[in-house]
Amino acid sequence: MLVVFLGPPGAGKGTQAGRLSAKYGLPQVSTGDMLREAVAAGSELGRRVQSIMDAGELVDDATMEAVVEERLRQPDAHGGAIMDGYPRTRVQAESFERLLASGRHGAVDLVLFLEVAEETLVQRLSHRRACSQCNANYHLEFKPPATGGTCDRCGGTLVQREDDREEVVRDRLAVYRTATQPLVSYYRTRGLLYEIDGAGSIDEVFSRADAAMAGAVSA
């Protein structure tokens, strides 16, 4: 099963994709996490994308296509995946269709679109903290770590992402509106879009996403 999360920065894509991944046994394919890992490792890819990410701009489509194609070839993704952050341009959506059609996955089964008001997005992102070692995500108010500034999972130091500074968040939202929001109608016309109210607690949003997922699994 191939599921795509769509929604603006801070909508909760990563949070909900992680929970659905654990429940349904499908890998969470987070392009943002993969790029941040490349930056942390100092690889050629990481050096190329760091300043683009820090500025809140999108990495070019050809690079992203290659990253995703390689990831979906891994054995854990043979049965499907939950896409968190890809596709996010029309070019990516079209090339993703071709990639899926040429391989074992076939096609996208479900697109979960998280809708959240802009003030809430800014609030969520400005209070997000991420583990510098394992990328686990926290929120200072809604999902705080058990002990101060360290990660519950691995003990790593929690940091604020460079692109979570408020001025960069505003730029990311503008990029989202121009480049990614058109995918809402793209997937709606294909009958794949499931709109989810992303307001409310993490548990409340999860039960909505889970209901959509369960419906698609049993269809």
| Site residues (vs ligand AP5, CB under 6 A) | 7, 9-15, 31-32, 35, 52-53, 56-59, 64, 85-86, 88, 92, 124-125, 128, 137, 139, 142-143, 163, 172, 200-202, 205
Alpha helices in the chain (DSSP H): 13-24, 31-41, 44-54, 61-72, 90-102, 118-126, 166-175, 182-189, 202-218
The closest residue (CB) to ligand AP5 is 32
Shortest distance (Å) from residue 201 CB to ligand AP5: 6
Pick between residue 53 and residue 192 the one whose CB is nearest to ligand AP5: 53
Q: Of the two residues 146 and 219, which places its CB atom closer to ligand AP5 in the complex?
A: 146
Cβ contact 9:164 at 8 Å? no
H or E stretch at 6: strand 2-6
DSSP tag of 213:
H
Cβ nearer to ligand AP5, comparing 71 with 139: 139
| Catalytic sites, residue numbers | 13, 88, 128, 161, 172
Distance set, CA 126 to CA 62, 129, 163, 176, 177 (Å): 30, 8, 10, 17, 19
Q: Which is nearer to ligand AP5, 162 or 218 (CB)?
A: 162
Question: Across the strands, what pairs with 199?
Answer: none
Min separation Cβ 218 and ligand AP5, Å: 25
For the bound state, the minimum distance from the C-beta of residue 219 to ligand AP5, rounded and expressed in Å, comes to: 26
CB of 169 to ligand AP5, least distance (A): 8
Nearer to ligand AP5, 209 or 218 (CB): 209
Cα distances (angstroms) measured from residue 202 to each of 26, 141, 154: 20, 12, 22
- Which sign does the torsion angle of CA 188, 8, 5, 74 carry? positive
Q: Least distance from C-beta 103 to ligand AP5, angstroms?
A: 18
Output DSSP code: residue 59: P
For 166, phi then psi, to 5°, come to: -55, -40
| Under 8 Å between Cβ of 113 and 13 | no
